[in-house]
């Protein structure tokens, strides 16, 4: 093999140098061989230089191969016929180089493909480092923000006041809505933040999406639901009033002529008074309805104080305990941690929780449960110091076709319900910066309050 020849060449050269050195040592004791000694010194010097040159030459060939590996230069290759002790290595390097070239080409194609997708998706993307330097901004972000070129997030405030402050205040996985104008259009930008670390760099990746159309659709849908419920309630109240008015008017008319007072019987007067009482009753119902509507539009400003959750729940438990026991319902609660507190308006939050418990009582009071009737209140503090309060019952559940409507004002399935309890509760929780959600299936309903 070529490598054997290489090592054989080194051995031969070393042997010749050793032989010449021994001969020089022998002749150095002979005074009559001065010219021979001089010649041997020259020969040994040449042999040594030849050995060094031979090793350096082969070293340079190896260095060239290693540089090929390091640089992965696609134009570099090694001839298979090249007579070199490293020819076998050259074979392997050519094969590895071909594999690396294919992998690199595939990665470049994938990178271009990813770039194409990122550049053409409808969601705006922007990334910047820990110093605020913009690393990347795609076409959708430029169009949304109406910015053609930007190098730092410091410049964002020139185009959209307050946007830089929003970005700097956000943590990983945060999402916020930012309202701004761009190109004369009002935008509601849903902003999401992700943070990745690449080597020593901390990159913040931000996505922008205009959700104004979705919000408008939701708003229209909410108004349609509210209008539908209001129309239903008003028609139900006014229709009997109109009917009764016509009936009472008929008591005192005969073919469009007013009946004389002498012809009016006591029975007619009694029926007219009864009708007027009903009209008054329905009128009061309409007034109550209007008052309820007013209560939805004029909520009191919360008075915040630090309340111990255990005290809050225990007060509600004592308040509802007797009523619930009469209906043979088992009410229990758990709080973790027991010393946890919440910053809230005590009266308003109590109103919300009592309303949720009342709904749970109504949901299970008519059910015959072989395993009993249960309402469970669970209070926990999560890792973000957010208070989670769940009210769970094992009642009949909420049908899928109405679960989206239960928070709509005046929507109710109860004969005597006003339909404002859950809507009012949601507004109160939103005043506290939280939300109410519901999950329901047959035999189980859970209302979750997040504050």
Taking alpha carbons only, the member of 317, 261, 294 closest to residue 424 is 294
User: 10 Å Cβ neighbour count for 383?
Assistant: 5
Residues 341 and 369 both lie in one domain: yes
As given in the structure block, the two tokens for residue 292 are: 């309820």
Question: Hey, which residues does 334 pair with through a beta bridge?
Answer: 378
**Is 106 a domain residue?**
no
**Is 227 a domain residue?**
yes
Question: Hey, which residues does 192 pair with through a beta bridge?
Answer: 175, 207
Q: How far, CA to CA in Å, does 12 sit from each of 15, 232, 327?
A: 5, 111, 109
Residues 222 and 244 both lie in one domain: yes
Instruction: Decide which of 185 and 336 is more confident.
Output: 336
Residues 318 and 421 both lie in one domain: yes
Q: pLDDT over 70 for what percent of the chain?
A: 78
Which of 175, 192, 210 finishes a domain? 210
Measured in whole angstroms, how far is the alpha carbon of residue 175 from the centre of its chain? 6
Residues 147 and 74 both lie in one domain: no
Rounded to the nearest integer, the mean pLDDT of the chain is 78
The pLDDT confidence band at residue 81, using thresholds 50, 70 and 90, is very low
The enclosing domain of 324 has a CATH number of 3.30.565.10
- One-character DSSP codes across 68-95: HHHH--TT----TT---TTHHHHHHHHH
Taking alpha carbons only, the member of 373, 377, 334 closest to residue 357 is 377
Q: Which residue has the tokens 């949304």?
A: 144
Residues 126 and 151 both lie in one domain: yes
| 216-224: long-range pairs with CB below 8 Å, 24+ | 222/408
Which of 281, 297, 313 finishes a domain? 297
Residues 390 and 333 both lie in one domain: yes
Question: In the predicted model, what is the mean pLDDT of residues 53-69?
Answer: 70
Taking alpha carbons only, the member of 408, 445, 446, 440 closest to residue 427 is 408
**Is 20 a domain residue?**
yes
**Is 144 a domain residue?**
yes
Residues 439 and 314 both lie in one domain: yes
Residues 289 and 401 both lie in one domain: no
Using DSSP's 3-state secondary structure scheme, residue 373 falls into strand
Which of 210, 230, 255 finishes a domain? 210
The enclosing domain of 182 has a CATH number of 3.30.450.20
**Is 24 a domain residue?**
yes
**Is 175 a domain residue?**
yes
Q: What is the pLDDT of residues 95-144, one digit of tens each?
A: 776 777 787 788 888 878 777 777 777 788 888 888 888 888 888 888 88
Q: What is the pLDDT of residues 291-317, one digit of tens each?
A: 666 665 666 778 889 999 988 888 888
Question: Hey, which residues does 336 pair with through a beta bridge?
Answer: 380
Q: What is the pLDDT of residues 239-290, one digit of tens each?
A: 777 777 877 888 788 777 788 877 778 888 888 888 788 778 777 767 766 6
Question: Which ranges constitute the DSSP H helices of 252-332?
Answer: 266-297, 309-326
CA dist 22 and 39 (Å) reads 14
Q: pLDDT over 90 for what percent of the chain?
A: 6
Q: In the prediction, which pLDDT does 376 show?
A: 92
The pLDDT of residue 82 is above 50? no
Residues 310 and 364 both lie in one domain: yes
**Is 10 a domain residue?**
yes
- Number of domains composing the chain: 4
Residues 22 and 47 both lie in one domain: yes
The domain containing residue 350 runs over which residues? 305-450
**Is 111 a domain residue?**
no
Residues 59 and 175 both lie in one domain: no
Residues 71 and 140 both lie in one domain: no
């Amino acid at each position: 093999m070529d490598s054997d020849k290489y090592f054989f060449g080194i051995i031969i050269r070393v042997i010749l140098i050793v032989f010449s050195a021994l001969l020089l040592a022998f002749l150095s004791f002979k005074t009559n061989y001065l010219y021979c000694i001089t010649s041997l010194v020259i020969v040994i010097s040449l042999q040594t230089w030849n050995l060094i040159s031979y090793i350096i030459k082969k070293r340079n060939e190896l260095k060239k191969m290693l540089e090929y590996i390091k640089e992965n230069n696609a134009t570099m290759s090694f001839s298979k016929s090249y007579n070199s002790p490293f020819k076998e290595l050259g074979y392997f390097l050519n094969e590895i180089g071909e594999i690396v070239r294919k992998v690199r080409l595939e990665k470049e194609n994938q990178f271009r493909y990813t770039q194409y997708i990122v550049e053409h998706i409808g969601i705006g993307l922007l990334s910047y480092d820990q110093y605020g330097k913009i690393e990347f901004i795609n076409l959708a972000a430029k169009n949304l923000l109406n910015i053609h070129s930007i190098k730092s997030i410091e410049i964002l405030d020139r185009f959209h006041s307050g946007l830089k402050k929003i970005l700097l205040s956000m943590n990983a996985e945060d999402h916020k809505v930012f309202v701004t104008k761009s190109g004369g259009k009002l935008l509601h930008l849903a902003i999401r933040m992700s943070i990745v670390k690449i080597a020593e760099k901390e990159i913040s990746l931000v996505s922008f999406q205009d959700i104004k159309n979705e919000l408008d659709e939701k708003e229209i849908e909410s108004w349609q639901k509210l209008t539908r419920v209001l129309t239903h309630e008003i028609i139900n109240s006014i229709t009997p009033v109109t009917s009764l008015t016509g009936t009472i008017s008929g008591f005192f008319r005969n073919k469009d002529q007013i009946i004389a007072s002498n012809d009016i019987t006591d029975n007619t007067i009694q029926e007219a008074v009864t009708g007027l009482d009903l009209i008054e009753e329905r009128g009061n119902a309409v007034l109550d309805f209007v008052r309820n509507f007013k209560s939805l539009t004029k909520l009191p400003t919360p008075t915040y104080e630090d309340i111990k959750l255990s005290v809050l729940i225990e007060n509600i438990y004592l308040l509802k305990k007797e009523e619930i026991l009469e209906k043979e319902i088992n009410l229990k609660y758990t709080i973790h941690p027991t010393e946890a507190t919440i910053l809230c308006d005590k009266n308003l939050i109590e109103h919300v929780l009592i309303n949720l418990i009342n709904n749970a009582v109504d949901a299970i009071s008519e059910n015959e449960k072989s395993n009993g009737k249960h309402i469970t209140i669970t209070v926990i503090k999560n890792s973000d110091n957010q208070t989670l309060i769940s009210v769970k019952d094992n009642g009949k559940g909420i049908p899928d076709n109405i679960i989206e409507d239960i928070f709509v004002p005046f929507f109710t399935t109860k004969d005597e319900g006003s339909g404002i309890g859950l809507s009012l509760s949601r507004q109160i929780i939103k005043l506290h910066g939280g939300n109410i959600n519901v999950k329901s299936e047959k035999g189980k309903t859970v209302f979750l309050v997040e504050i």
